[in-house]
Structure 1
Amino acid sequence: MTRRDSSPASVPESSPATTGSAPGKSGRLVAMDGLRFAAAAAVLLYHFTATSTATGYWGTDPAEAFPLLNEVTRYGWLGVELFFVISGFVIVLSADGRGVAGFVASRVGRLFPAYWACIVLTAGLQQVWSGGRQTTLTETLVNLTMVQDLFEVTGVQVVFWTLLVELKFYLLVLVVLALGPLTRNRVLAFATLWPLVGWAAQEFGAHWLADLLVPNYAPYFAVGMLLFLVYRDGFDLVTGVLLVGGLVLCVLRVLEAAGRASDLQGVPVNPVVTVLILLASVAAVWATTLRGRSAPPRRLAAVLGLVGGLTYPVYLVHTQFGYAVIDLLAHETTRMVALFAAGVLSLGLALAIHYGVERPTSAPLRRAVQAGLLRCSDMLRSRGLLPTWDSKEFDPQVTRGA
């Protein structure tokens, strides 16, 4: 599988799609919310001021259009790798203490409302804008599944490929959950074996298995999972050794991606700078989870919570809508004004999706999926088609949030 036109590796990014719970009254790691939004902003600026795709809308190479800004934003694709590290932490945190049905319901309720809204909005945009990605009605409908790449159907937004990577991660978490609670040993085994088996599948030509295990991105998720263990259980020698090993794999992967980024953008992407940004990103994730740190002021926590809520919809909508704004304004005003307008529209749409779609629909959808899965499991068990597991291994915590 090859990475899409706007990113230098192979298969999309993290999605940035979830927010985890943390002990305490706030129920959130609000500093991580801010980190997620920073990653989304980096990806947005990368798409607008660094990718070769943007050349067609600016009318010139992005490095020439933004000579100083491009020196920084050419590394913005690393926001995706940061998303995957955060996802490794947050998704295991979300799954911890949940059963199979609860985990599936929480992911459906969290991912699909904003995603479907983005597809509808993008389909409307393409009725009045002839640029960007043009998809047929059938292709647009297939996009509603979130697995359009499996059918070799173009995603209506550039970043959609990353969501399939996330879904594959969720599938693997689901398999581990089906075996029982997320004990330390299970998470350690998961975080260790997944990248290694994926690498072996890639090296020995087992393409179907490599496609499932996404070896180019597995190390990032694995590091996030190990950081979760440090957060939940404390640091120990075994976790520390595996964390170092995971970081080594991440460095090797990101060095490969840096070469592809240089080729894609047509500008030098310094491998040393790339590695330093990656390591700083991992350190930042770890820092947001440290226990005993003072809580941020209430107003700052509220702002971080808001931008955390906007991260996913901003990530979903920014490319097509941002490119449309740039295409419209690039030759009518200054480039900085066009860039600012593209960012403002992306944020405005994200606010509308968050408050108009996600907030009213995510929880009801989660509850409906949860109830449906429980009914199906009860029916299958009553017919002897499913083992009579302990309720904690399948049943969700009905009152737990997404």
Structure 2
Amino acid sequence: MGLCLDVSRVRQLFIFSLIAFASNFEYGFSTTYLNTPVEHFKGFLNESYLRMGKTLTEPTYVIIWNILLNIWFVGFFIGIWFSPVLNDRFGRKKALHEEKRKTQIALQDSCLRHVFPVNPLHEEEIISDACECSPTNQRGAMTFLSEISYSSMCLVGMMLGTRQLLGNNLVALMAFAVPFCAFFFLVLLFLPETPKFLLISRSNRAEAERSVIFYHGSDNDLDTVIKEIVMEAEMEPVAASWSSISEVLKEPYLKRAMLLSISALQNTVPLWSMLLSSTYFLEEIGLDQIVASWSSTAMTLAYTIGTLAGAIWIERSGVGPISWFISSELVPQHHRSLMQSITYALNTVIVVVLTFSILPLYNVIGSYAFLILYTIPSTAAIVILYRYLPETKGREIHEIVAELRRMTKPI
């Protein structure tokens, strides 16, 4: 019996790891591969200006570099608002598969044109898939695979961007992710739709049961799982739509969920400036380029180890949901994609504003820029989370929503 449980657990871990890496492979890689070869990219930009008969000044370089680092957020922001339509109309599987198809095209184009690839839809699909497919008592650990896969690929991108590996060959560096994304594109063809989408949105009990067996294993209590999904659906029988934005802004418990989601994501904002520009900051304080690039790689290794430790710690200690999937655990299924879109859109705006501001402000006031842009807002967000965040460990979504309804006052 114990061996069967171990095999089932390993099988679940393998399936959710495939989903996580399928979503985050290119996303994490493209976040950091510009970080360590910063001097090589600067030379590339300078050469481009010389060919046009112009001189690349330092202020102009800062502006262009900021645009290169942040341009993919434009695609991310647009994709955020397409995601609810794709998720709720076509399903999580088809939405994620369509995202991988477009990512593959963007990657190939980036190798030919030296353009930064855009990956706009991935995060919501992986979070929806993980939350809706995984068993309740394993939801935190399984959804944490999204962060593990992302941090791992950030580490790969940072390491390959060093001068000793692919940092001096930009085409090879950008082409690295192409075959892997093609593999994951094929893998997604064989995964079933999420059981909650099939039962709640499609009213297809037979397919939902098959999906539960696939994701939970044949030894799960099928009737109990289906019953819990039905209970969640019965809580809010009316399907969500774009008109539900007004409901989110009016309903107290939904406003509370949105505030908590934004506050949790606020504590991820400082990470972006380090993932995107840590080598630049280290070189600015006088470190050698090689030392700076490998120090950035070591920082990303620590980030990866931290996410691995967090996956274990969060399930054992149960201190509440985690930043990127908190909104998925605080609202009913039919509000999930819309709530994620709203909170991610606001977070994306915050990230773009702050990451675009950090380089010029750092050049003016030095390290105090981090205090103003990151420390103060993050401290306020932590206070909000400590005061209002409910526990979610081992609980069904409808139980969490019911608690939010009871404890929420108009805010």
Q: TM-score range by the shorter chain?
A: 0.3 to 0.5
The TM-score, its normalising length taken from structure 2, stands at: 0.32
Structure number, greater radius of gyration: 2
The TM-score, its normalising length taken from structure 1, stands at: 0.33
Report which of the two has the higher share of helix.
2
Larger RCO (CA under 8 A, 6+ residues apart)? 1
